[in-house]
Amino acid sequence: MRVPASVVVVMCSALCGCGEAAVSRGAEFYMQRRYIDAAQVFEQAERSLTHYGAEDRARYGLYRGATLFALGYTDSARHWLTYSSKSATSSLSTSERLALIESFLASRRAQPVGSSPAAVVLTQGDPHPR
């Protein structure tokens, strides 16, 4: 799946302000197109998410959503992009908000709701959705 170039540029610039090491590390992996590594970092960091500041929670959702979208998990990507938009949109720069909107719209065009690889796994009886 191709991520719009403007999203990658904005995400690179957003790295400078990330306070949480996990967000920075996951974002770096994302920029390097190491999506599986990024997804693992974000999954492990999720339990600490409540301790992040509003700006870092918004960036976490943006990067995690973009990472999941790049991996083809459209429904999960929408969840995290929505989370980002509800976390602290006002703390994101204008370009980050634009990247969030572009990523969300791209995820909406990619597949109908409920047709991501995660949904397929669930219909096959997997008790632990990702």
CA distance 18 to 77: 20
CB atoms closer than 10 angstroms to residue 83: 17
By the 10 Å C-beta count (0-12 exposed, 13-18 middle, 19+ buried), 81 is classed as buried
Residue whose structure tokens are 């973009």:
66
Q: What predicted TM-score, i.e. pTM, was given to this entire model?
A: 0.68
Measure Cα distances from 43 to 13, 40, 72, 111 in Å. Answer: 23, 5, 16, 23
Measure Cα distances from 52 to 19, 58, 63, 106 in Å. Answer: 8, 9, 14, 27
For the chain, 130 residues long, give each residue's pLDDT as a single digit of tens.
566 555 554 554 444 444 478 988 998 998 899 999 999 999 999 999 889 888 889 889 999 999 999 999 999 999 999 998 888 767 777 877 887 888 888 888 886 555 544 443 333 333 344 4
